[in-house]
């Protein structure tokens, strides 16, 4: 029996790549499965079809045409505007093949409506970790069963128990969306929709989150959860000609540095800072004395909820401390775009100052690079707590920093805090560095035949076959 799984990734090349990666794992593990990705274009790029790989044996792509790219859209409303096109695409595919179900990205859960209309099972590809999934369910339960609205805790020092964590979780590390009165109803509604899934693929590894996986295996109120990670895009080369030149220059510089001597600072595709905050980072770097590779971006002046990407500064010499560039010329390199995977792979990199995006976190662990946590938006504050306090795999810069401006004026992270985090993450022979090496080895084993993630993938396919309508 040949079965088709339809995947709907969130807009953007990053989500497309991770969804492609999990689809490839599934079709490689069972030759009965084929996959089609229905691709919603990003609002902030004009990726032509040539930007995406060609369809191949049992893996196909359906690229939807550009729709309403109005700046009035939030990220979620933009996705919802594609429902008619997605419905048409799935209907056409169902007429030609046996569709076993729709796998929606964690930000595309509203597409569950389409699966229900067509009588198809819905599965979710949850691109974050199992512990955060547990927090989402817990926040919904607190509201539905105890009428506790966690958005009322925004200025509170309250700590509460989360069933997927082993220690009390502070309200200060709740994501801004959960602390926003405006967005809280959406968070609760999405958790309810997630409970309707037939199963949830989580981009994590059982050995990293035993508490979370035990909770889900014992629960009768949540769908089955399959830890199938790490789902990483670490082999493909996606750069254009201009980026290839920059990448060559960056890697050539790294090759000249001593082993584990460079601290890498990069804050993701949506991470940037104000001029004042950028100066504090520069002061911290110079005081620390460590070699550095620093991806510098200016925070978008647009509303982060609408997902406006950061931009390069045009006047770096004017905003950095006077003489900084000259004084650090021998030990530092300032860049804009960064080939993150290739940098983390370099033997010269000894630490990574990161926004705690889950993909970046997994990439750093895969290559055995310790991190210093500086979250900005989305679920990154939770990830920072998870990595620093729960797992002991990261140093702290500030776990509860927010760069999305949803809750008012942003606080400044001081040069002293940043310097302390840099020095901690660059400490050689530390307990944290040893823990990172141990978990890195476990991540590699998990995807091997007989590993925990490989077994979870096979169990998922078995359940998909059993749920075929």
**pLDDT tens-place string over residues 189-228:** 999 999 999 999 999 999 999 999 999 999 999 999 999 9
User: Are the CB atoms for 179 and 152 separated by under 8 Å?
Assistant: no
Catalytic annotation present for 15 = yes
Question: 3-class SS at 294?
Answer: strand
Classify domain 241-443 by CATH number: 3.40.50.2000
Q: Quote the pLDDT of residue 99.
A: 96
Q: Quote the pLDDT of residue 52.
A: 66
Which residues touch 417 (CB under 8 Å, ≥6 apart)? Answer: 284, 397, 398
Whether 407 shows a pLDDT value over 60: the answer reads yes
Catalytic annotation present for 105 = yes
Q: Quote the pLDDT of residue 455.
A: 97
For 71-75, the CB contacts below 8 A with 24+ separation are: 71/302, 71/306, 73/43, 73/306, 74/305, 74/306, 74/307, 75/11, 75/107, 75/305, 75/306, 75/307
> Which listed residue (30, 31, 105, 444) is catalytic?
105
Whether 302 shows a pLDDT value over 60: the answer reads no
Which residues touch 325 (CB under 8 Å, ≥6 apart)? Answer: 316, 317, 334
User: Are the CB atoms for 37 and 19 separated by under 8 Å?
Assistant: yes
The candidate with the shortest Cα–Cα distance to 4, out of 95, 85, 72, 67, is 95
pLDDT in tens, 219-273: 999 999 999 999 998 765 555 566 889 999 999 999 999 999 999 999 987 788 9
Average pLDDT over residues 296-301: 79
> Which listed residue (15, 138, 290, 355) is catalytic?
15
Start and end residues for every CATH 3.40.50.2000 domain found in the chain: 3-234+447-466, 241-443
Strand ranges across the sheet with 291-295: 332-335, 291-295, 262-266, 349-354, 371-373, 394-396
pLDDT in tens, 154-182: 889 999 999 999 999 999 999 999 999 99
* Mean per-residue pLDDT over the chain, rounded: 91
CA distance 218 to 225: 11
- The pTM of the full predicted model, rounded to 2 decimals, is 0.93
Classify domain 3-234+447-466 by CATH number: 3.40.50.2000
Between 184-195 and 130-146, two packed helices, what is the crossing angle to 10 degrees?
Answer: 110
């Amino acid at each position: 029996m040949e079965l088709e799984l339809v995947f709907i990734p969130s807009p953007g090349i990053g989500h497309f790549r991770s969804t492609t990666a999990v689809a490839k794992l599934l079709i490689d593990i069972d030759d009965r499965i084929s996959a089609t990705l229905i691709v919603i274009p990003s609002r902030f790029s004009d990726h032509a079809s040539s930007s995406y790989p060609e369809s191949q044996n049992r893996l196909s792509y359906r690229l939807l045409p550009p729709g309403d790219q109005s700046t009035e859209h939030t990220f979620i409303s933009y996705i919802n505007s594609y429902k008619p096109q997605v419905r048409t695409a799935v209907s056409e595919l169902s007429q030609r093949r046996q569709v076993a179900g729709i796998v929606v990205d964690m930000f595309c859960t509203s597409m569950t409506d389409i699966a229900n209309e067509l009588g198809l099972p819905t599965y979710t590809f949850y691109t974050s970790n199992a512990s955060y999934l547990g927090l989402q369910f817990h926040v919904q339960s607190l509201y539905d069963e105890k009428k506790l609205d966690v958005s009322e805790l925004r200025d509170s020092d309250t700590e509460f128990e989360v069933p997927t964590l082993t220690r009390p979780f502070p309200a200060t590390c709740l994501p801004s969306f959960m602390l926003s009165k405006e967005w809280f109803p959406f968070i609760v509604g999405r958790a309810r929709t997630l409970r309707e899934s037939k199963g949830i693929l989580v981009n994590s590894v059982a050995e990293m989150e035993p508490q979370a996986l035990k909770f889900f295996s014992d629960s009768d109120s949540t769908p089955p959860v399959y830890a199938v990670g790490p789902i990483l895009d670490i082999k493909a080369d996606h750069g254009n000609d201009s980026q290839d030149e920059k990448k060559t220059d960056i890697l050539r510089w790294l090759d000249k540095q001593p082993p584990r001597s460079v601290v890498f600072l990069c804050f993701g595709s949506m991470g940037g800072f104000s001029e004042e905050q950028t100066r504090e980072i520069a002061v911290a770097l110079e005081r620390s004395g460590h070699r550095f590779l620093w991806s510098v971006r200016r925070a978008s002046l647009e509303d982060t909820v609408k997902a406006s990407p950061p931009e390069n500064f045009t006047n770096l010499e004017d905003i950095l401390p006077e003489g900084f560039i000259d004084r650090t010329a021998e030990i530092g390199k300032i860049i804009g775009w960064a080939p993150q995977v290739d940098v983390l792979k370099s033997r010269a990199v000894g630490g990574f100052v990161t926004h705690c995006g889950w993909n970046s976190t997994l990439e750093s662990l895969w290559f055995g690079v310790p991190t210093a946590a500086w979250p900005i938006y989305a679920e990154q504050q939770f990830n920072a707590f998870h990595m620093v306090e729960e797992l002991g795999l990261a140093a702290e810069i500030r776990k509860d920093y927010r760069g999305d401006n949803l809750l008012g004026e942003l606080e400044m992270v001081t040069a002293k805090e940043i310097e302390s985090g840099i020095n901690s993450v660059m400490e050689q022979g530390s307990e944290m560095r040893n823990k990172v090496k141990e978990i890195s080895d476990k991540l590699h084993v998990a995807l091997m035949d007989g590993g925990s993630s490989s077994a979870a993938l096979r169990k998922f396919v078995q359940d998909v076959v059993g749920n075929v309508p």
